[in-house]
Amino acid sequence: MRNAPPGQRAAARGPGLRAVPVLALAALALAACDGADMVSQPKAKTWDRNGFFPQGRTMLQPVPGTVPRTVPNPPLPQPAAASAELLARGRERYGVFCTPCHGAAGYGDGIIVQRGYPRPPSLHAARLREAPAQAHYDVITNGRGSMLSYAAQVPPADRWAIVAYLRALQLSQDVAVASLPPDERARLAARATPGDPGTPDDRTEPADRAQPGDRAQPGDRAQPDRTGGARR
């Protein structure tokens, strides 16, 4: 009918023509119903006795060991022991799936965010540093707020790898100077005099680097853009 000339198309759309096949179908359907079989079909209701099954019941229990398609609380795959391989895998997967929003260093300034996507909280916020690994695993699995679930893209073992890397990332931005090995401490001392938040060198670094005071910001949700106009 699509290619029919306009006149015919209008006719086809008229109520009269369209009603004909509908009526014909209805008549057929009614004709089929006058057999007694269709009027009262045998059926068993949930709680009816039922001699057909050995248990004598209509509603049967699932066989032992049946796994429902939607398991409410499936056993969680346990995290693998931390290893260099696990962290490397986590870093790579984090790079693939998380950096677009959370940024390479986890400050919530990924490329999508720079283009207007809602800014995620900094992964270095105190609340997220203190949250148990399981909570981060759950966020990847189920999503949270405006973050979608990554369960389909990231299998459980990789989720743990990402969480392990996330921990390493957090540690990298939150180390007590006293806990650094002596050579690192010496390098640090050579770069900054006590009380000086940063040498000119530091200031040219990306905004992602931790600066003194970052940790104290509540929530870390809206970090001031320390690069000023540099990003535009």
Residue 105 engages ligand HEC in binding (rule: CB under 6 A): no
CB nearer ligand HEC, residue 156 or residue 198 = 156
Minimum Å distance from CB 116 to ligand HEC? Answer: 12
Cβ-based neighbour number of residue 41 at 10 Å: 6
Paired residues of 49 in beta bridges: 57
Long-range (24+ apart) CB contacts under 8 A made by 136-144 are 136/163, 136/166, 137/76, 137/79, 137/163
Q: Note whether 221 binds ligand HEC by CB under 6 A.
A: no
217 touches 129 (CB < 8 A): no
Nearest alpha-carbon partner for 172 in 121, 123, 115: 123
The region of 19-27, 134-142, 167-175, 188-196 touching ligand HEC under the rule CB under 6 A is 134-142
Among 86, 89, 90, 101, binds ligand HEC (CB under 6 A): 101
How far apart, in whole angstroms, are the C-alpha atoms of residue 224 and residue 232? 14
Q: C-beta of 107: minimal distance to ligand HEC in Å? A: 12
Residue 144 sits in the site that holds ligand HEC (CB under 6 A)? yes
Judged by CB under 6 A, does residue 121 bind ligand HEC?
Answer: yes
Which amino acid is residue 12, in one-letter code? A
Closer to ligand HEC at the Cβ: 105 or 139? Answer: 139
Does the protein bind ligand HEC through residue 91 (CB under 6 A)? no
Q: Which of 86, 105, 140, 161 binds ligand HEC (CB under 6 A)?
A: 140
Candidate residues 154, 161, 164, 169; the one interacting with ligand HEC per rule CB under 6 A: 154
Among 86, 105, 128, 161, indicate the residue that binds ligand HEC (CB under 6 A). 128
Beta-bridged to residue 57, according to DSSP, are: 49
164 binds ligand HEC (CB under 6 A): no
SS (H, E, C) 159-228: HHHHHHHHHHHHHHCCCCHHHCCHHHHHHHHHHCCCCCCCCHHHHCCCCCCCCCCCCCCCCCCCCCCCCH
Among 57, 97, 206, 227, binds ligand HEC (CB under 6 A): 97
103 touches 109 (CB < 8 A): yes
> Does 139 sit near ligand HEC (CB under 6 A)?
yes
Q: Tell whether residue 120 is a contact of ligand HEC (CB under 6 A).
A: yes
Choose among 78, 91, 96: nearest CA to 134. Answer: 78
**Which residues in this chain contact ligand HEC in the complex, by CB under 6 A?**
97-98, 100-102, 112, 117-118, 120-121, 123, 128, 136, 139-140, 144-147, 150, 154, 162, 166
